[in-house]
Structure 1
Amino acid sequence: MLRALTIILISFSTVAYGQLTNFKEIWKDHTFKGDELFDHGLYEQAITSYKKELEVKNNNIHATARIAESYKILGQYTVSKGYYDILSHTGKLDSIQHQENYADVLLSSGHLEKALEYYRIVLTSQPDNLVVRNKIMGILSWDEFYKNEEYINIQAVPFNSKYSEYGLRPFRDGLSFTSSRVSDLIIQHNYLRGVEGLTDVFVLKYDGDKANNAKVLELEGYKRKNDGPLSGANDLFVISRTISDNSAGESTLGLFFYESDSIGNLTYEYAFPHNSSSHTITHASFNNSGDSLFYSSDMSGGFGGMDIYYSVYRDNVWTAPINLGEPINTRKNEIYPFNDNGTFYFSSDGHAGLGGYDTYQLVLEKREKIILNLGYPINSSWDDFSIYIEGDHGFISSNDPKGKGEDDIYEFQLLPRPKVIDSVQVNLSILDNLNDYPVDSASIIIIHEQDTAYYISNGNGVLIDKFMPGAYTVKVEKTPYVNYSFVIHVEEGDNVKQMVRLEPAIALHTVSPDSIMFKFGEYSLLKMAEEELDDIVQTLNDYPELQLKISAHTDSRGSHEFNLWLSERRSEVAATYIVSQGIDSARVHEKGYGETRLLNNCRDGIRCSAKLHDVNRRIEFDFKRKEDSE
């Protein structure tokens, strides 16, 4: 995907490459030479220089790190991982950025646990790093990316070549796409900075099985440099092209508009008024009506590298760029926006995904914007981008190494899903079993065959109205309650109402050895006893409906009269402390039982060890509802 993602540098790099030809006079060592090439975006040449440096100094950490980073930029994640492995094994992976890069290539290489480890290391140093949080969330919910696999057929198109093809769009009665394949006899498109030269827009007719020979789309206006992709609406088309008007000879990409005549020929109309030599604007796509234009740009004031913007055609002019903002844009790169009848798609390396660039859909749910990963097989652990979709049919581009060239175009078909019953409603009420209060923010997990859905309850529970026929396992989880699960059966026309009572994860009967509450033979509370009783007070505050009974017990040593008196005093002292903490005295009941309720056989006249006697010396706390205690 290098061409499609980093083509914004190619014209500048071409100039720079021409200016940096006398290598022997300028560069004193291979590292310096590599740094110059790296800074000018010539990553493959930079790798060559750094590797020469490693032949001389195989412990050059800077050169190793730059090779790893260059391969990552080139989309060669497995090779990049190998060099980051070297830094990790030698204890030199101490840069936060390198640690995040390492996690990225580990993710793309399928090493999920280790990627998770390094993302968490980065998050410890940068707790506000939302990109890393997204990546962690993606790994922890990995199976979600594969849940639609059986409903998608995907295959490479027959017109891919050994070069790079991407950015497919409909054009006239056929298709257009961008490619780096040889396009004329004057310029041979050789490798440059790890890409295959310049790009052109090609057109062809395609019926799904066969494709005629692709031909370059001849366009007037600017001299052809890095043309594409092409996008159209009605009779207006927009294309990304190189701008070369910087006094320093540097180049960026801008947008240019063409109009189609009655026989389909394109005539140059005008340049996008917000083009600039100080930033790139590319990857443009119209909405269906043609009055809004979405595009990707690295202009200042954005969230990260490339952000997605839009402009509206109003009063015969395109409005100033408007950043789509969060949650779409991140501090990384968002590219290739596409709008299909109001459904918005884009590609990014800053959201939860399978690795590299994934393609996402923006879902609006109750005024909340949710970023949905399209999952496998549309996305992979490589770079997947430049989607075009119409109904249940579409195309996606990818640099998956199983392909024919550097980037390839894949055609996909969304298959019918099992019937969904829209008329069924399942209403779950989640209550606290002790106080009958609704439980807010409980996690509700609904499992049907291989599919899993997640919901969060509010004060009214949760209402779900789309189901397929069959049996569903429902799990309800909320801290500090005991998890609860049950099965419901859904058929056409059902309206399911289910009340779920969650048991608080509290002990309704607790026993405290009196040795931690009182000294032997005394009834004054120890400091440790107050801590025990404070927990009891907290439970009573949390559940005003509960009553408390305090039962004090002794062992059989000593007289019956003394033991009964001592246990009564101890229960009274415990109750007095609890009431002193603000608990209504009517809710607290106490009783001393002396030695009348022994837990073992250590009665009068029976010889027992001190340890066995200690079992009988205890304070018991029993919580009950008011109606249960009457």
Structure 2
Amino acid sequence: MKYFFSIIIYISLFLSLGLNLKAQETEFDKLINEQKYEKAIGVILDDGTIETLSVTNLENLGYCYVMTNRYRDAEIVYSKLISEPSSSIENYKYYAEILIVGGKYNDAKSYFQKYLEKNPDDVQAKIRMASCDSLFNWRYLEPRYIVGNFDEICTKYNEIACTMSDNDVLYLSNRRLKDEEEFVQRNEIPDLYVFDTHQSMATKEYITDKYWCSSLVYDSISKRYAYSLRLIVENIDGFTLAKSKIMFEDKSNNSIDGLTLFTWEGMPENANIAHPAFANNGTRLFFTSDMVDGYGGMDIYYSDFENGVWTDPKNAGSSVNTAFDDLAPVIADSGLYYSTSGLPGYGNHDIYFSRIDGNKFSKSVNLKAPINSYGDDLFLVPYKENKYVVSSNRSTLGKGGFDVHFVTKLKEIKPVVENPDDTIVVNKLNIASFKTPKIFFEIDKYFIYDEYKEGLKSFADTLILYSDISVNILGYTDETGTEEINAELSNLRAKSVADQLIEYGVPSSRISYDGKGVKKDVTMDGFRYHVVIGTIRNDQEAEWYNQEIDNKYDITVMPFKKFYCYCIGDFDNSSDAEEISRKIAEEFDIDCYITSSYLGRCLAKYELAINRRVDFILYIDNGE
């Protein structure tokens, strides 16, 4: 499984960085090989708690937490690991990676620095440390895309390297259909699948029984495929793989004899030639290679078909290639999409874009979240109008391993009418009114109160009814707390709302979320202010409080955490509430204070409460 992508190991960020499992016992090794990480966690914890486990077991436990996307638990384990005298300095680097996932960029940077003090020549670690600054600067950018699962393709196994073949989608997977309902894991060698508009499956087994295929591309002009293939050489220990080569095949072909080798005069025999991508109506081929004249690792090259032969390849140059692996080229949108581990980014391999003008390439630009993630992101391929597909092992989506995801270019809804009650008319042709709910949170909390769930359920029902609308959920905090805490908390608030919408039936492919950190609004429609004259655990004491104020004001009882607030007034601004508070304090000698509420629930720190919330941005997926 972990050799699914044959040129480089991609299964997780930590495997690609070189984290090796330490031997513990046969049962544990078996569970890891079977990817039963939760059970492996149980085996480790049977030996003790985090405070008592050995360094070896802590490293194994941290690995399992990462593989199950339990990054908070992994953070606790690695914070313990780096305090152990016998712990490897490598654990500082892994701890820094986990802190990046948690949005703690400054802390991550400090641990990269500690690691680099002992390993000053680790260029990759320097790039990851630079990523901390980039991610900090990118954290509040408005997303231009929404990402969701390609559910018809994805399974708990690996799916990767999509290409379009007229109306069909071609991809690789290491699963095999057992019967009409169930897929099973085949082995480490991927099959090549065709997914057509009728949702049927077929495989090119005459290729994958002989070769390990790591990518493919189709040219609609010449009607031919190009495959990245490695010959499988069986031996007593199983099999080995020959160097990667590119082979062409006409679409009408259905046998191994129809494959022809991509070659040029003087092509080195000991180099990997992989990841083909057609350009210029099939007369130019981009590919990746580790030829000795490159910048390092795998570089991107291109060759032109002239006078019946392929020309000597040209390196795409320093605007594209780095000292590390530059992979998965895709030609689209007048430029080159590709993945690299040699530039700052979110994860191990991020997707970048370079505009092409003849033989010139512009400086590459990171496509940022949500296209890029803290995993590996590869092969951004145009699918349909305003849609792409991408292969990724990101933890926040997918069914397991690498999956294929939709990427939809967003078009923000321009309100035709915006009413005071937040009703937005989506467009003039289809008068669909959306009322976006308001959801507020307590200090340091991200769970959703029941009072807000009714509005959220109504919103979900409307989204389900209008399937061309997607939503981006933006989480915010007030200005208390550190920058790192606010970044994480705002993301958790947005995620909790996204999870609730999914639970209500909104497809995950139409939902994105992002934590935006601190908000500093001072007013909001629908937000109410009150004077609190008492807070107790009992909600049956209104009569007693009425006697305290000589029945001069009406009292409303509202919940607040595990208490009840006895409130006077219902004001749309805090200044009116403050004036009444002064009068009550002077007349009745009562210590009172101001609170705020929304939908009948009190919220602490009224001057900041409106900023502890989520906002909703609506998009038309298929708009121009």
Normalised by the size of structure 1, how large is the TM-score? 0.50
For CA contacts below 8 A with separation 6 or more, give which structure has more relative contact order: 2
Larger radius of gyration, structure 1 or 2?
Answer: 1
**TM-score normalised to structure 2 length:** 0.50
